[in-house]
Structure formats: C-alpha cells, structure tokens
Structure 1
Amino acid sequence: MKKFIAMAALAATLPLAALADDDGDDDAPQFGLAGLLSAKNKHDLEPIQLSAGMPLTQAPWVLKSGSYYEFEIQGDGSQELGLVGPEFFRAIWIDEIVVEGLEIRPLGLDSIEFDEAGEMEIGFIAIKPGSYYLKIPGSTGDSQRLEITIE
C-alpha cells in the first residue's frame, strides 16, 4: 500500500514537472493561461454576407480542430435570409454570439435568421474533424452555400 501511495504521489508531480520544463520546442503549443481561448489561438474568418442573390463568402473555410475562430454575419436587409447548418454547429463549441453588444452563450445552435439588416459575431472552437456546410435554407446554388472543413 505504501508503494502505491508513493507511486501515485510521484505520478501526480510528473505533469507539473513537464509544464515547468522548457526544452525550447517551438512546435509545442504555447497556450497562455486561458488555453484554447488565448489570443495566440484566435483566428478571424472572412465575414458571411447575407444578401439576396449574392455569394455567402469568396472561398471555403478550412479550420483546425482545437483552434478558436470568430466571424461576422452581415445581413443587408434585402430579403429575409437565414443560415442553416446543424451538423457544423454540432461539430463546434460556441463560446458566444454577439448581437448589438448583447453577448449570448448558447448550449447549441441549429440555424439563424435575419429579418432585417443587422450584424452578429460568433466565436467558437472547432472540435470535430470533417466536412460541413452553412447554407441559405431552400437554396440550391453553390454561391448560397459555404463549404467548411475541420482538419
């Protein structure tokens, strides 16, 4: 029993020793106190434009699992438009949605809709690798669909 307690105490100190050891490995993640939410791990994505007959973005998104991303959705009010992408929203962890200075921290999301002109910002961590999309419901054109890959 004493050996077990000694081994457990030694094992508990190993992670602390590994954190304190600076071996100069530049490839190792260098997260600050906030970890995944640190500024070093944050990336801004191209905004999504919700406008009648216009493409959502210029290029598909390629994301890295474990990275924090922010993007804006800008609706011009030309038409009542929304975005749907339940598979994508289940493959990410949403930190917050900001609408006119109001911060919303949802447990999940299925779709959003703009009834009039406005803007929102979504911050999230990409989690589950795979191929996903966001699209305008009922649309069939490629420009009305944003392809997303999480690596």
Structure 2
Amino acid sequence: MFKLVTLAAAFSLALPLMAQADDDDDDAPNFGLAGILSASNKEDLPPISLSAGMPLADAPWTLKSGTYYEFEIQADGSQELALIGPEFFRAIWIDEIVIEGLEIRPLGLDSVEFDEAGEMEIGFVALKPGQYYLKVPGSTGETQRLEITIQ
C-alpha cells in the first residue's frame, strides 16, 4: 500500500512537468510550477493617483484574463478620496493588498478609501472578461473614472 501511495504521489508531481514537456504550441503560456502565479505571467500596471481635481490615470486599462497584475494607488492627502468598483473587484481574484508593509489577503473588496496621504499596492488575477471601472464615488467627470476591459 505504501509503494502505491508513493508512486501516485510521484506521478502527480511529475504530471505538470510531463504536460509542459509535451507542449509543442509556441503560443501556449509557459508557466512555472506556480502556474498563473509564476513570475512569467505577471505584469505591472500604471499607478492610480488620488488627488483633488486630478485624473486617476493616463489611459484606460486593457487586461487579459488569467494574467497576474499589480498596481499602486497613490494618494497625496489633498482630500479624503475613495475608489469604488464593485463589479471590477468581483471580476478579479485579489491575491493581496499591501499597505505600509502589511499584507492583507481579502476574500473580496468593494472599495478603498484614503483619509490621508498614503500608498497601497494590489495584486490580482483578472478572471471575468467584460467592461468595468474604478471611480471616485459621487464624481461625474471622465478623469475621475478609470475604464477597464478584461479580454
């Protein structure tokens, strides 16, 4: 029985390596053993800036489903500001939020708010294709809204 369990365990560890070795498709992702969390599947996004009367970002984001992304939210403290985007936050899997070296691993998120100057970094995997946004609540200007497309 012990040999059977050991053999099954060895096979289950070797299976991803065998699948990777047999893959002749040059366009297929070549993830490491960490899968989609591998460094080769990670992209940094431009930061979001929270400042009174200033645009959130320079351009809309176009993301690819299955890719791991990281971005920073930088608040200058000029005003108490928040970002909402419940549909976007439900279309992604949040790996972690880092604030002043503290790592938070939430099950979900609806919004974030800065009462003073600070910075936060969010790491996530884009999952559900569609059109989304992050915006300053109560604002109507285009510059206070970041359009996001997940392909």
State TM-score, norm by structure 2: 0.87
* SS of residue paired to 1:49: strand
* SS of residue paired to 2:57: coil
* SS of residue paired to 2:19: helix
In the alignment, the residues of structure 2 paired with residue 18 and residue 149 of structure 1 have an alpha-carbon distance, to the nearest angstrom, of 34
How does 1:1-151 map onto structure 2 within 5 Å? 16=15, 19=19, 21-151=21-151
Classify 1:27/1:79 alpha carbon distance in 2 versus 1 (closer, same or farther; 3 Å). Answer: same
Larger C-alpha radius of gyration, 1 or 2? 1
- Cα RMSD of the aligned pairs, angstroms, is 1.8
Q: Hey, which bits of structure 1, 4+ residues long, moved more than 2 A?
A: 15-18, 20-25
In the alignment, the residues of structure 1 paired with residue 98 and residue 52 of structure 2 have an alpha-carbon distance, to the nearest angstrom, of 23
Unmatched tracts of structure 1, length 5 or more: 1-11
Classify 1:20/1:139 alpha carbon distance in 2 versus 1 (closer, same or farther; 3 Å). Answer: closer
CA deviations over 1:105-138 (Å, ceiling 9, x no partner):
0000000000000000000000000000000000
AA matched with 1:59 = A
Unmatched tracts of structure 2, length 5 or more: 1-10
AA matched with 1:102 = L
Q: CA deviation at 1:23?
A: 4.8
Task: Give the number of aligned pairs.
Answer: 139
AA matched with 1:74 = Q
